[in-house]
Amino acid sequence: MNWCPTCRKSASAVTSETVRSSAFYLKFDFSREALKIFPEVAAIMKTEGAYKVSAVVWMTPLDTLVQVTGLAFHPSAMYVAVKAPTLEGTEIWIGALKLQENFERAGGSEKISRPLLTFSSGKLEGLQLKNPLTSELVTLVKSDQVPLEQGSGFVSFAGDATGSWMQLGPSTTESAEVLEELRDSGKLVQQTPLEQKVFRCGTCQNQTVLRFT
Ligand SMILES: [Zn+2]
């Protein structure tokens, strides 16, 4: 459902336009607590000599990154943990099995690796990960609106405590400073060009978001 956060109601007479923008693959690191709740991943981290575990999250609009209140995964998808060699050291990345090629290529891999762990998405529910910009903890919730045709199987949303809507739109201002900070701290996997349909509310013309609860 297209929801207008400005009018605070479902948007009628929605108009759409295609915009060129960027999609971002960002790392949301597992918190200490999350590793305790998901010991299989913590064990892999140890075996592989990795220094952290991150969910690769697709398409967080950079200018709303500070407002992110949660992350969503797809309830019926399988997820994988893979080894990711980076400049900072060995890392473990988590993403949807179906999109493994996508997010590994985004990270610069030429070959697709053998997953270290394959698991059903239920394992992810309620885990708390760190916002790459603010280090604030955000909670993983399920949503069947999470795309499985592109991205990584994780998307971010901003909204109230129940996580009532998902940010699908691209950044309106791709803040160069934020981008630089994320790049410097090793939290950016990749920036890719994106052509996307943006929906606008017929009443106020502001961009709508997809409501999923
Ligand atoms: Zn509106």
Between the CA of 6 and the centroid of ligand 1 the distance, in Å, is 5
Q: Which of 139-148, 157-166, 200-209 has the lowest mean pLDDT?
A: 157-166
User: The tokens 């961009």 sit on which residue?
Assistant: 207
Between the CA of 172 and the centroid of ligand 1 the distance, in Å, is 17
Between the CA of 13 and the centroid of ligand 1 the distance, in Å, is 10
Between the CA of 207 and the centroid of ligand 1 the distance, in Å, is 8
What pLDDT is recorded for position 97? 98
- Residue 46 DSSP class: H
Q: Which of 92-96, 175-179, 193-197 has the lowest mean pLDDT?
A: 193-197
Say whether pLDDT at 140 is over 60: yes
**Residue 71 half-sphere exposure, CB side, CA atoms within 13 Å?**
34
What pLDDT is recorded for position 3? 84
Between the CA of 137 and the centroid of ligand 1 the distance, in Å, is 30
pTM of the model: 0.85
CA distances from 21 to 58, 60, 170 (A): 13, 12, 6
Write b or e for each residue in 36-74: b if 16 or more Cβ atoms lie within 10 A of its Cβ, otherwise e: ebbeebbebbeebebebbbbbbbbbbbeebeebbbbbbb
Q: What fold is seen in the domain 22-194? A: Isoleucyl-tRNA Synthetase; domain 2 (3.90.740)
Give the residue with greater pLDDT, 50 vs 163: 50
- Residue 7 DSSP class: T
Between the CA of 22 and the centroid of ligand 1 the distance, in Å, is 24
CA distances from 134 to 15, 116, 154, 202 (A): 34, 29, 18, 34
